[in-house]
A and B are shown apart, each in its own frame.
Chain A
Amino acid sequence: MPGKTVIEKIFANHSEEDISPGKIVWIDLDVVTARDFGGPNVVKNFHKNYEGESVFDPSKVFFTFDLTVPPKTIQYANNQMICRKFAKEKGVKVFDIDKGIGTHTLIENGLVQSGSIVVGTDSHMNILGAVNSFGQGMGDVDITFGFRYGRTWFEVPETVKVNIEGNPSYEYSAKDLVIKVLSILRTDKILGKSVEFYGDPIEKLDLPERITFLSMITEMGGIVGFIPFNSNTENEIKKMSGLDNVAPEIKADEDASYFDIIDLDISDIESMVSAPPYPHNGMKVSDLDKVNVDFGFVGSCTNGRIEDILKVWTILKGKRIKEGVQLSIVPATVEVYKQAFEKGILKDLLDAGAIISNPGCGGCAQGHIGMTGKGEVMVSTGNRNFPGKQGDGFNYLTSPEVVAFSVLNGFISDREF
C-alpha cells in the first residue's frame, strides 16, 4: 500500500470505503452550512423533497449570512427571513447579518479544525485548508442533501505537490505570493486537484497569510490546498478559534503518490497585481504603465483580517488619500471589527478618507458596498476580477499595501510618491 496524501487521509477518516484517487466514495460531513445566498434555495429544495423531515444533526448545520448584510433589497430580506424561519423550525443556529464572512466565523467559533470536512454555499470554503480542514463549496442541491443526510458523494481528487523555492530579497506579502503562483499555475495545472504546498517561502506564512494564499486555490481551479504547519500555526489556530485543544495536523505520508510534482522558483517576486479580466493575469506593479485608480477596496475572505487592515493603517495614518479617490474597508468578521476598534486605528483610517463598513463579503458581489461605474478602475484585495464582478469597471487584485499606496497616490503603486 502506498502512502496517502492529506486529502486521502481526511477522506479515509470520513468514509467506510477504501480511498484512492479517481474513485467515487460516500463521505460523512462534519459541518454543513448555507449562506444568505444559496440558503433560500436550499430551504426551497428541502421543503420540496424532504417536507416534515429533520436535518441530520442540528448541531452541525448552520446558516452564515455574509453576502447581502444587511439586506439591500426586499428580495434579499425575504430570502433571509426564509432561512431564519427554517432554522427556527429545525433548531439550527444562524450566524446572522452582524457576524461577517461565514468561513472566518466558523474558524473563530471553533467549528472547524484539523481533519474536518466542512461544506457550504461558498466557493471559497477551501480557505479552511489554512486550519488543515477540507472545505468545499457546493451548490444548493448538494447542500440540501447534506442538510438532510450529513453525507455526500465525492470523487477522491488526485493530489499535486507544489514545491515553492527561492529566497527573494523583496519583502513580499502572501497576496504577492499567491498572485505569483496563480500566474504560473493558471487555471489548468491543478484543475480539480487537491494541492500540497511545501517550501520555506510558503511554510513560513502565519495563519492570516495562509488564509489569503489558500483562498485563491479556487481561482487556480483547484479543490483545496494545504500547507504544513510551522511551529506557530497550532497556537495561532487555538487563538483564532478559542479552542484549548485542536486535533493533530493531518500530514501526508512520505511515500504518498502524487498526480504531478511542480517546482516553482519565486526569487524574482515583487509587488504583484492581477490585471483584469482574470485572476491568473498576474504582473509586477513595476511593469505596469501608470494606471489611475478611482476606488480601493480592502476586505473579502482573502484579505479581511485585522493584520490586513493594520497594514493599510500603517501606510495611511496621518495622511489623506488622493482627492476624488474612494477607499472602502470591510472587516471580515465582527471580531476583526472589534479588534480594529480596540487598537484605536479606526479614527486614523476615517481621517485618511476611508469608509469602514460593517463586516461581510464586501464588494465581492453586488450585495454590499463599493461598485465601480463604467470604466472606473478599482484596486481590490478580493480574489476575482472577472468582468462585472465588482461593478462595471476594471478590477486589479492586489495586496492591502498596494491598495493603500494606490489610493494615496491616485495610481497603482507600491510606495509613496
Chain B
Amino acid sequence: MTDFKIKGKVWLITDNNGELINDIDTDQIFHNAFLHITEISEMGEHTFGNLEGWEDFPEKCNPGDIVFAGSNFGAGSSRQQAVDCFEALGIKAIVSESYGAIYKRNAINSGFPILIFQQINNFVKEGAIKNLDEIEIDFIAGELKNVSSGKIFKIDPFSKVQKDIMEKGSLLTI
C-alpha cells in the first residue's frame, strides 16, 4: 500500500530576507554541467549546487525531510535530474505555490510527491511555518499540519493521475 501521508522536517528555501525564493530554475537545482549523469544515486550531491546560499543543502538535509520553495519552482529545462536529485537525497516531498509545467509532469511521472500550497510565501513570511518545523501532509485530504505549532493548512489534494501514478510507482510501471 502506498502511503499518502508523510511526516518530516521542513527546509524553507529562502533568500537573505527569509523569504521563499521564487522562480528557482532547473539549472539552479541541478546544474547543466552534470547532465551526463544517468545514475540517480549519483545525483543527490549536486542538488541546489548552483543556488546561491544553498550549495551545502545535500550535506545539511536528511532523508525524510520536506522542501518548501517559492512559486514557479523548477522553471526551465526538461531535465529529469532536477526531480531525481531530491529522490536520491531521500527528500519526501516538495511544497510550493506553483511549478514549472515540465517539472510538474516529471515529478508526477516519477511518482515523486509535489504539493501545491496557495499563499505559502505569505504563511512563511508571517512565521506560520519555520525552518526545521515538523509537519505532516495528507496528500489525498489536502491537509498540511504544522506539528510544532498545531496549526492546520488546506493545500491542493493530489490529482487523480498523481495518485494513480504514485500508487504504481511511476508512469513506467502503470
Chain A: residues with CB nearer than 8 A to chain B? 24, 37-38, 40-41, 44-45, 48-50, 67, 73, 75-76, 79, 121-123, 136-142, 144-145, 153, 155, 187-188, 191-192, 218-219, 221-223, 278, 365-367, 384, 386-389
Inter-chain contacts of B47 with A (CB < 8 A): none
A50 to B109, CA, bound (A): 16
Inter-chain contacts of A386 with B (CB < 8 A): 25, 27-28, 76
Q: Are B38 and A137 in contact (CB under 8 A)?
A: no
Write the nearest CB–CB distance from A224 to chain B, whole angstroms: 10
Q: Are A38 and B78 in contact (CB under 8 A)?
A: yes
Inter-chain contacts of A24 with B (CB < 8 A): 159-161
Does residue B126 face the partner (Cβ distance < 8 Å to A)? no
Q: Are A388 and B75 in contact (CB under 8 A)?
A: no
Stretch among B1-9, B58-66, B96-104, B136-144 lining the A interface: B96-104
Does residue B133 face the partner (Cβ distance < 8 Å to A)? no
Inter-chain contacts of B76 with A (CB < 8 A): 123, 218, 384, 386
Choose among A121, A221, A278 the residue that contacts B78 (Cβ–Cβ < 8 A): A121
Q: Are A49 and B38 in contact (CB under 8 A)?
A: no
Write the nearest CB–CB distance from A149 to chain B, whole angstroms: 10
B residues 128-174 in Cβ contact with A at 8 Å = 159-161, 170-173
Inter-chain contacts of A366 with B (CB < 8 A): 32-33
Choose among B28, B71, B79, B170 the residue that contacts A387 (Cβ–Cβ < 8 A): B28
Q: Are B80 and A41 in contact (CB under 8 A)?
A: yes
Inter-chain contacts of B78 with A (CB < 8 A): 38, 121-123, 137-139
A98 to B23, CA, bound (A): 34
Given A123-B102, A191-B101, A221-B101, decide whether A389 and B79 contact each other with a Cβ distance below 8 A: no
Contacts across chains A and B counted by CB atoms under 8 Å: 110
Write the nearest CB–CB distance from A79 to chain B, whole angstroms: 6
Q: Which residue of A lies closest to B170 (CB)?
A: A141
Choose among A37, A49, A50 the residue that contacts B35 (Cβ–Cβ < 8 A): A37
- CB-CB nearest 4 A-B residue pairs: A139-B106, A139-B80, A75-B36, A137-B78
Please, could you name 26 A-B residue pairs with CB atoms under 8 Å apart, sorted by A?
A: A24-B159, A40-B38, A41-B80, A76-B36, A123-B77, A138-B102, A139-B83, A139-B110, A145-B172, A153-B161, A155-B161, A187-B23, A187-B72, A188-B98, A218-B76, A219-B75, A221-B72, A221-B101, A278-B23, A367-B35, A384-B27, A384-B76, A386-B25, A386-B27, A387-B52, A389-B27
Q: Are B79 and A38 in contact (CB under 8 A)?
A: yes
Q: Are B32 and A365 in contact (CB under 8 A)?
A: yes
- In the complex, how many residues of chain B place their beta carbon closer than 8 angstroms to a beta carbon of chain A? 38
Inter-chain contacts of B106 with A (CB < 8 A): 138-139, 141-142
Inter-chain contacts of B172 with A (CB < 8 A): 45, 48-50, 141, 144-145
Q: Which residue of B lies closest to A43 (CB)?
A: B38
Chain B: residues with CB nearer than 8 A to chain A? 23, 25, 27-28, 31-33, 35-38, 50, 52, 71-72, 75-80, 83, 98, 100-102, 104-106, 109-110, 159-161, 170-173
Inter-chain contacts of A75 with B (CB < 8 A): 36-37
A297 to B52, CA, bound (A): 25
Given A24-B159, A278-B23, decide whether A142 and B171 contact each other with a Cβ distance below 8 A: yes
Given A79-B38, A145-B171, decide whether A388 and B110 contact each other with a Cβ distance below 8 A: no
A40 to B79, CA, bound (A): 12
Q: Are B109 and A191 in contact (CB under 8 A)?
A: no
Choose among B50, B75, B80, B100 the residue that contacts A141 (Cβ–Cβ < 8 A): B80
Q: Which residue of B lies closest to A82 (CB)?
A: B38
Q: Are A192 and B35 in contact (CB under 8 A)?
A: no
Q: Which residue of A lies closest to B22 (CB)?
A: A187
Given A123-B78, A144-B172, A191-B72, decide whether A139 and B102 contact each other with a Cβ distance below 8 A: yes
Inter-chain contacts of A141 with B (CB < 8 A): 80, 106, 109-110, 170-172
Inter-chain contacts of B32 with A (CB < 8 A): 365-367, 389
Q: Are A387 and B50 in contact (CB under 8 A)?
A: yes
A389 to B27, CA, bound (A): 7
A296 to B79, CA, bound (A): 26
Please indicate which of the listed interface residues A40, A41, A76, A366 has the most CB atoms of chain B within 10 Å of its own CB. Answer: A41
Inter-chain contacts of A367 with B (CB < 8 A): 32, 35
Inter-chain contacts of B102 with A (CB < 8 A): 123, 136-139
Please indicate which of the listed interface residues A49, A122, A142, A367 has the most CB atoms of chain B within 10 Å of its own CB. Answer: A142
Inter-chain contacts of B159 with A (CB < 8 A): 24, 155
Inter-chain contacts of A365 with B (CB < 8 A): 32, 35
Given A138-B106, A221-B72, decide whether A37 and B161 contact each other with a Cβ distance below 8 A: no
